[in-house]
Amino acid sequence: MTSAGSAGTSTGGPVVPGTHPRHQLDDAIHSPVRLSVVSALSGVDRAEFAEVRDAVEVSDSVLSKHVAALEAAGYVEVTKGRVGRRPRTWLALTGEGRAALRAHLAALRALLGADLG
Amino acid sequence: MSERTHVTVDQARSSLAGADAARRGLAARGRWLAGYFGAFAAGSAAVVGLIGLGGDTGTVLGVVGWVALVSVGVAYAATRPVRLRREGWLHAGGWASWGVVYGVVLAMGHPRHGEVAYWLPAALVSAVPLAVAALVALRWSGR
């Protein structure tokens, strides 16, 4: 039991590094939509915005908002182009995003292990 | 500690399930690549068969058909909305190995034009690299 365990991370006080797996969770991808977006992109080199939207089952505006946050975090790369005359927006996971996803998923699994173990 | 931890554990379980579903969902949209390589595998068998057994006319038909297939395939691939992870490596490996097999098959069959016993198996062998690439794409799009 660490002192940080009862302090949590939402009290606004100084965060004391702890050993509990939840301290390893990445705030940038902790929201369900962002985690879904990053996870979806982890299986592809790149995908069009509309395909990600359909896979994650959110609206255009919701996906835009979360992609902007992920892009700001350096986890997703956004590329705009054209196929024929049609404008397209491509999304791709960066190396940093891939590493963050791996660490985040490992923390989630550890969290389950800590609880079940 | 327990309530917050239990909520987090529930969220963790739900998050992992959601992440897996999202990854599989988008990767499945890259399944077109399996059909793409499958079509080229069939095309390769047809072209080699035509070259070996169809005489001059068969050779011309085979080459024209292959050029048409490549043109359609390139245009089709360029408009696909999802590119599977490591797809470039699959293209490189699939086409490079196909090129080697195709070249060897044609070189070995050069003095045997018209021999069904050689050209039918040769046609099938030429399709193997691209068929394997199709199977790999199918697996990648389903994982």
- HSE (side-chain half, CA atoms, 13 Å) at A95: 0
State the first-to-last Cα distance of chain A, in angstroms, to the nearest integer. 15
Among A38, A77, A108, A116, the strongest candidate for a mutation testing the B interface, having the largest count of B CBs within 10 A, is: A108
> Hey, which residues does A46 pair with through a beta bridge?
B83
Question: Residue B39: inside a domain, yes or no?
Answer: yes
Question: Residue B88: inside a domain, yes or no?
Answer: yes
Question: Residue B135: inside a domain, yes or no?
Answer: yes
Strand, helix or coil at A59?
A: coil
Instruction: Over range A64-87, report the average pLDDT.
Output: 93
Q: Which of residues 19-58 of A touch B (CB under 8 A)?
A: 22, 32, 35-48, 50-52, 55-56
What are the structure tokens assigned to A81, written together?
């182009």
Q: Where are the domains of chain A?
A: 29-116
pLDDT grade for A82, boundaries at 50, 70 and 90: confident
Closest Cβ–Cβ partner in B9, B83, B143 for A46 = B83
Residues of B in contact with A38 (CB under 8 A): 19
* Residue B38 pLDDT exceeds 80: yes
B79/A84 CB distance under 8 A: yes
Residues composing chain B: 143
ipTM for the predicted complex: 0.79
The Cα of A27 is separated from the nearest Cα of chain B by a number of Å equal to 13
A6 touches chain B (CB under 8 A): yes
pTM of the model: 0.81
B77: domain range? 31-142
* Residue A46 pLDDT exceeds 70: yes
- Residues B83-139: pLDDT tens digits? 999 999 999 999 999 999 999 999 999 888 889 999 999 999 999 999 999 999 999
Question: Residue B45: inside a domain, yes or no?
Answer: yes
Closest Cβ–Cβ partner in B9, B21, B84 for A115 = B9
B74 touches chain A (CB under 8 A): no
A76-83 β-sheet, strand order: A76-83, A86-93, A44-48, B82-84
B3 touches chain A (CB under 8 A): no
pLDDT grade for B16, boundaries at 50, 70 and 90: confident
Question: Residue B12: inside a domain, yes or no?
Answer: no
CA distance B17 to B9: 12
* Residue A110 pLDDT exceeds 50: yes
CATH of A29-116, one of 3.40.50.11540, 3.60.15.10, 3.30.1360.180, 1.10.10.10: 1.10.10.10
Q: How many domains does chain B have?
A: 1
B139 touches chain A (CB under 8 A): no
Question: Residue B124: inside a domain, yes or no?
Answer: yes
What are the structure tokens assigned to A13, written together?
């006080």
